[in-house]
Amino acid sequence: MAEAEPLRPIELQPQPKTVQELAAIDGKNVPERYIRKADDNGGEALDAPFPVLDVPTVDLQLLASSSSGGEELKKLRSALSSCGCFQAINHGITSAFLDTLQEVARQFFALPSEEKKKYSREIGSIEGYGNDMILSENQILDWTDRLYLVLSPEDKRTLKFWPENPESFRRILHEYSMKLPVIVEVILKAMARSLDLEENQFLQQYGGQASMHARFNFYPICPRPDLALGVKPHADGSAITLLLQDKEVEGLQVLKDDQWFSVPIIPQALLINVGDQVEIMSNGIFKSPMHRVVTNSEKERITLAVFCVPHPDQEIQPVEELINETNPRLYKKVKDYVSLFFQYYQQGRKPIEAALL
C-alpha cells in the first residue's frame, strides 16, 4: 500500500529500554547515546535560562468571523510570518475536556512497563508505544518515550496500538479527534484570508483526504538537562501541528533569529505551529519554525502533538497569487512530503531544502 511507505523509515536496531526505564535504573547519569556535544548548541549550555518567546495569542472565535484587515487576522499573519506559531484560545474545546485528555495520557504513561509494552511499536514502524528510532550509527537519542497513533481517517487507525488502559483512553482520544477538524478548517481559511487570498486556497491543497496523527510525548525526569535534549531540533513535516502542552512543565523552545526562546504555557490553549507544507503553500511567507525540547531534572512532562498531513497523492505548491516579480517562487511542487521528510531527516539534512527551487 503506497501510503503506508512514509511510516516505514529504516530502523537499524531496536532499543530494548524505554527512557522511562533508563531513568528508573540510574537517577544520576544519562547513557552515552543521549549526550549531546557542547558545540551542538553554539556553545550555549542546554540548561541555561533562555529568553521567553512572545507567542501571540489568537482568539479562534474572533478569527473565524474576522474579515480582511481585521485585528485577529493581522495578529495571525504577523505571528506566522515571524515565529511561525501562535497560542489558539477560544477554540471551542472545554478546559474540563482537555484536563481529562491530559489525565488519561498521564495514567497511561504511569502504567507498569509490561502493560505499556502491549502497545509497543514494531521495528521500523512509527505507530505504537516506544522510544526514539535509531536511524544512523552516530545518532544522538532523544530523552523521550512516545505513543504514536493515526487518528484519522478512522479506517486507517490501528486499534491494537490504542491503549485500553486507562479504560476511557480510546473514547477520550476519539472525542478529541472529532473536535479538531473544525479548528483546522478555521485556521487554514484564516491563514488564506490573512494574505488576502480567497479563503479556500490553503484548504484546497490540504485536501479532503488529509490525515491526523497523534504523538503523545512523555519526557521522564532527566538527571542531566545540561547534556540531553527531549527532542532534537526539527521542523514539523505537517501542514500544521496542534500541540497541547503540559499544563505545568515548560520545555519547548523555538529558534528565532538564530536564538533559542522558550515557549510559555497558556493552560488550555493549543499551540499551533506552521509545518513545512504550509511554508511551501505560502511560498515561505509563513515560517515552519525549528523547535526542540529541553529536559527537566525535577518534573516529568507530557504533551500531545497532532500532525495534520495532506494525503500523499495531494500536490503541494506555492499559491500562484503569492508569486510575483518581487516575490519569486521559492518551492517546487511536492507530493508525499512526509516520505521526502524522512529521507532527508535520516541524512541529517533539513527536509524543506528538498523542496527549494
Ligand X SMILES: O=C(O)CCC(=O)C(=O)O
The footprint of Fe ion (CB under 5 A) covers 236
Cell numbers representing residue 123 in the block: 521495528
User: With respect to Fe ion, which residue has the nearer C-beta, 142 or 236?
Assistant: 236
Assess contact for 329 and 357: CB atoms under 8 A.
yes
Least gap, CB of 289 to Fe ion (angstroms): 9
Report the C-alpha gap between 276 and 284 in whole angstroms.
9
- The strand ranges marked E within 73-192 are 85-89, 128-131, 145-152
User: With respect to ligand X, which residue has the nearer C-beta, 66 or 268?
Assistant: 268
Least gap, CB of 25 to ligand X (angstroms): 24
Contacts of 26 (CB under 8 A, 6+ apart): 223
User: With respect to ligand X, which residue has the nearer C-beta, 252 or 308?
Assistant: 252
Partner whose binding site includes residue 197, from ligand X, Fe ion, none (CB under 5 to 8 Å by kind): none
Least gap, CB of 300 to ligand X (angstroms): 12
Place of cell 558545540: 39
Partner whose binding site includes residue 201, from Fe ion, ligand X, none (CB under 5 to 8 Å by kind): none
Report the C-alpha gap between 342 and 320 in whole angstroms.
27
Q: Nearest-CA neighbor of 52 among 264, 245, 243, 230?
A: 264
User: With respect to ligand X, which residue has the nearer C-beta, 20 or 283?
Assistant: 20
Contact residues toward ligand X (CB under 6 A) are 215, 217, 231, 236, 243, 245, 251-252, 291, 293, 303, 305
User: With respect to Fe ion, which residue has the nearer C-beta, 73 or 210?
Assistant: 210
Q: Report strand pairing: 57-59 vs 85-89.
A: parallel
Least gap, CB of 230 to ligand X (angstroms): 7
Least gap, CB of 12 to ligand X (angstroms): 22
